[in-house]
Structure formats: C-alpha cells, structure tokens
Structure 1
Amino acid sequence: MAMVPEITCDMEYIYRDDDDSQFYEADGPNPKKGHLQYPDLCSGASLLEEDDIQLKFTSQPHRFHQTVVVVVAIEKMKHLNGSCAQLFRDNDLMNIFTSIFQEEPITFESCNIYESDSVFQFSSSQDCTIQDINQKCLTLSNASELKALHLNGYNINQKVIFSMNYFIGDIGSQKIHVVLCIKKNNLYLSCVMHNGKPTLQLEQIAHFPRRNVERRFIFNKTEINHKTEFESAEYPNWYISTSQLDEQPVFLGNIRGGQDITNFILDDLS
C-alpha cells in the first residue's frame, strides 16, 4: 500500500476540478495554473532522492478517481530511472496502470430461476366456498365431477370447500394468480386441450408443488364489485363458467356477460 510521506513545503499539489485536461501541459507545469509542481526529477536536488516524495495538499476537495491517478502516478515515479526530460504523456499514465493492475476476466453464471415456461411460486392460501351470481354453489358429484346447483337445508353439506392458493407469477404482471383445489380430495382444477377445445378438468395430486407450477393449473383472479372471475392462464379469454340451468357441470367458456355465468361470489372461511 502506498505510504503518505511527511508533508513539507518543498512540493505543492494544487488541483483544479474544472478542467482535468490541465493536469499535464505540452509546455510543462505552470505554477500559476495550480498543477503538480516538481523540480527536475533527475537533478541532484530531485525530490525523488532516496525514494521519497514530499507533498503538500490544499484544502480543495478532490474526486476519488483523481486521487487514484495521483497516488498511482507518484508511486510509479518513485522508481523512475533514466532521463526525465521527456514530458509525461497519457500513454505513460496508461503504462503505469497496466504495470500495477492486472486485468482479470469476469465470469457470468446464468440463473435458471426463470428459465422454465412456468414461473409461478407459492405465496399464500385461503379457504373459501364458491357460488355463482345466481346463488348456485359449486359441489362435487359422486362421479368426481364439479357441478353448480342450488342447495337447501337437506343437501347444504354438498358444498365443497376450496383451498385457493396464491402464486407469484410473471415478472411485471399485475394479475393475481391462483390455484383452486377441492380441499377434502386434493382435486385441482386444470385447463387442458380436449378435442380441439380448452376444457376444465379435475386432477388428483397428493403433493402439489409450491414452485414452478405448470400453467394449466393457474387462473387469473379478477375482482370487480365483489364479484370474481377466474381466467385460464394457459388459455387467455377462457373462464370458469356455469350454466343458467341447475345441476350442470362447471366448464371453461369464452363468453363473458352472455348466457353463461362467469361471475362468482366467494365466502372466505380462513
């Protein structure tokens, strides 16, 4: 590490921040312009004798890179040999840097967190029941088929409880991503292509992943005036839908505000 020698008045360093180009001049240093002042470095009175340089600093503040230039240059000039009559040029400064510092390559290791097509990772969950705006509740039939029907006192226990899991999704996306699971049976709603048409189905999964979830399980949840829509992330503009008729299967439809119902009301049980 460079050692700062004892400060004397034999040498003066005054820097002008407003013009870096004035550090060296073609005609040599000018005491009136406030540059690094030094006598003949090769004379008998040279301040470089016995590898010592005397400095005097002004109170004027200096930028970091300017200070580095001065310190490195001084340390190098301590060991200069031969004639010093030649002016110090930009190339000389570059040679000082290359002789002191060693260039090393920077190794970049790619991150594969977002390399998968599915970037969804678990965030939180809540339990809830779901019914459409016509007050038909979502239930599970004996054939493990999700249906919507009106419930009353004797069949109210058919209402299924969903575990709605929230996932962090695509970078920059403002959408709310959820996975819907019938809690009792570990049946997950998913969207697949069947006979050339996006179709809603149930998949039983014992240990559902908490990261890198496949897109077919993801629904974009939108709430407007306390009503909720579930849009398929795999097939945009296709929504979980119910029929106007009672006891019909829940399906994936691409018509909003029409005969089919795409608006639902959630009852939070958490």
Structure 2
Amino acid sequence: MMKVEPASPQYFRSSSYSSCHDLFYEPDCPKKAKGPMLCVKQPSCSESNFDCSSIFHLQEAQDPSPSMSFKQAVVLVVAVEKLKKQVQTPIHFISDEDLYDLFLNIFEPEPIECETVELLDQPEKRYIYRNQTIEYSIRDIDKKCFLLQKPLGSPRLTAVHLQGPDAKKEVKINMAFYMCPGNPTQEAVVLGIAGENLYLCCTGESPPVLTLETVDKNVLGSMSSSELQPFIFFKSNSGSTCRFESATFPSWYISTSLAENERVKVSQLGQTAFTEFNTSRS
C-alpha cells in the first residue's frame, strides 16, 4: 500500500480505518475531522485549520496483509490528488507588459525634441590638372555643331547645322582633363573655346544658366578648387556618345535645342533637349 510522508523525517500511520476517514477525503475537505484519522501536517500548522501547504512525499511500503478494500484505495487516490493541488504553485512568466510597468515605476518618460541642423561647411572638392588638354569637335546626336556668336560684345554658344563653306565656322572645344581625388571614377573636364579665353561656366541658382566666361589661361591654372568648381563638368561615356554634367549643379547636363540656331544651355534628363554628344579629335 501507499503511505503519506511529510517533508520532515516524521511518519504518521494509523493502525485502524473508520468511516470518519470519509469526512477528510470528501470534496469539501472539512477543516475538522472526527474520530481517529491519518493526520499529516507539520507542527507549525494550526490545529483549527487543516489546509496545510506543506510538501508531502509518497513512499511505497510492503504490507504483509493486503486487506485494503477498493474503497480505501479510491479514497487514497483522491487524497493524493488533493495534496498535489495544494503544493502546486502556478507558473507566471514575465511578459513585456510587466517589464513596461516596472520601467514606468523606475523611470519617468521625457519628451525628445528634435532639431534640424543644416551643414553649411561641406568638404571642398579638389581638382588637380592632369597636364592634358585636347582639342575636340563636339556635335549633338542631331549632328548640330557649335557656333560662337558675339552680339553686342556678349559671347554666346549656339548649335546649328553647318554645311559647305559655312563648316569652317564650327567652333572647336579645348577639353582640359582634371583629377578628382574624392571621386576617382568621375572624369572631370573644363571646356574652353579654342583660340579664345572663353570657358563654359554653370552659374545661377534655379534653374542654372550656362554662360561663357572670359578667363586668362594662366589665371585658370592658379584657381582654387572652389573657384574652379563652376567650370568643371563630369564627362560620362555611353557607347559612342557622352554627356557633360555640371559639377556645381548635379543632374544638369549641357544640352542643345531641337530647333536650329538656339543657345546651348543646361537641362535635366527627360526634358525636351539633346544631352548626348559625339566627340572627335581635331
């Protein structure tokens, strides 16, 4: 049979069984039982309250007289189940809500104010002359070439179709090559009118304007990178054609109009203009 053993090394065993045991093992588990019954509790338990949360151990004992009835076995099983329910403690896992409540008791939330800071001092790009200047003939994909006009002393560059004797009026471009250590993959160039001290320059705000600036060649070579920036264009090749992107105004390219004898300017990709050119050495 089975006997009930408390956590301490004390053993209680009843030598007789009576109907009063039924009171102890009934579902309502009365606090006081009458008659001789098996009392398994720690000495610290109150005499008037039998509901004890002590830990009990069950050990199997050999009984030479196996005279336990079926009813006694059922009563014992019910008692064991009740004792197991008394000693089991429900497990509570810590959730995110518990931690959140804990942090609220310790820390006080404070609003965060964000400020937008504009960086005015950007790193200056450096341009180093590669001691290489090549004269090119540049035409757009519509085969218009450059023509220099000087109305009222204000030079401007236009794109026209020149044929026959007028082909001699075509303007050739001196392309000076520079290195840009900050971005070695880009090919930086300065575009000047051959035989003139005129250089293409991208100025203005929005939209930018392409102009011809008069600059002495020796002065151009002694300019700082910041002074040279408006004259710099990044040359990008795509097959047999190329584009010239302004270094001062990214995404703005040297372009020509679809119409005849219009001024050379700068445009963005997608606008109605030619931005691709064919170059050939003179």
TM-score, normalisation: structure 2? 0.51
CA deviation after TM superposition for structure 1 residue 211, in Å: 6.0
Measured after TM superposition, the shift of residue 172 of structure 1 is 3.9
Which ranges in structure 2 are unaligned for 5 or more consecutive residues? 1-121
Percent identity between matched residues is 29
Deviations 1:165-223 (A, max 9, x none): 000113243110000000211101011115x3211011011122156342111000011
Correspondence 1:1-270 to 2 at 5 A: 117-123=124-130, 124-143=132-151, 144-193=155-204, 196-206=206-216, 207=218, 208-209=220-221, 212-213=224-225, 214-256=228-270, 258-269=271-282
TM-score w.r.t. the length of structure 1 is 0.54
Counterpart CA distance in 1 for 2:267 and 2:230 is 15
> How many angstroms apart in 2 are the aligned matches of 1:265 and 1:176?
16
Stretches of 4+ aligned residues off by more than 6 angstroms: none
Distance (Å, rounded) in 2 between the aligned partners of 1:246 and 1:130: 16
- For 1:128 and 1:210, the matched residues in 2 are separated by 24
Q: Output the amino acid matched with 1:219.
A: F
Give the superposed CA RMSD.
1.8
Shift of the alpha carbon at 1:255? 2.4
- Take 1:188 and 1:149, find their aligned partners in 2: how far apart are those partners? 19
> What secondary structure, in the 3-state scheme, does the structure 2 residue paired with 1:234 have?
coil
2:65 alignment partner in structure 1 = none
Q: CA deviation at 1:142?
A: 2.8
Amino acid at match of 1:253: S
Task: Tell me: CA distance 1:244–1:116, structure 2 relative to 1, closer, same or farther (3 Å).
Answer: same
After alignment, is 203-212 or 158-167 more displaced?
Answer: 203-212
AA of the residue aligned to 1:121: I
Aligned residue type for 1:131: R
Unaligned runs of 5+ in 1: 1-114
Q: Which moves more between the two structures, 179-188 or 203-212?
A: 203-212
> Larger Cα Rg: Structure 1 or Structure 2?
2
Q: Tell me, in whole angstroms, the C-alpha distance in 1 between the residues paired with 2:159 and 2:143.
A: 9
Give the secondary structure class of the aligned counterpart of 2:275.
coil
Superposed CA offset, 1:28-77 (max 9, x none): xxxxxxxxxxxxxxxxxxxxxxxxxxxxxxxxxxxxxxxxxxxxxxxxxx
Give the CA deviation at 1:157.
1.4
| SS of residue in 2 equivalent to 1:235 | coil
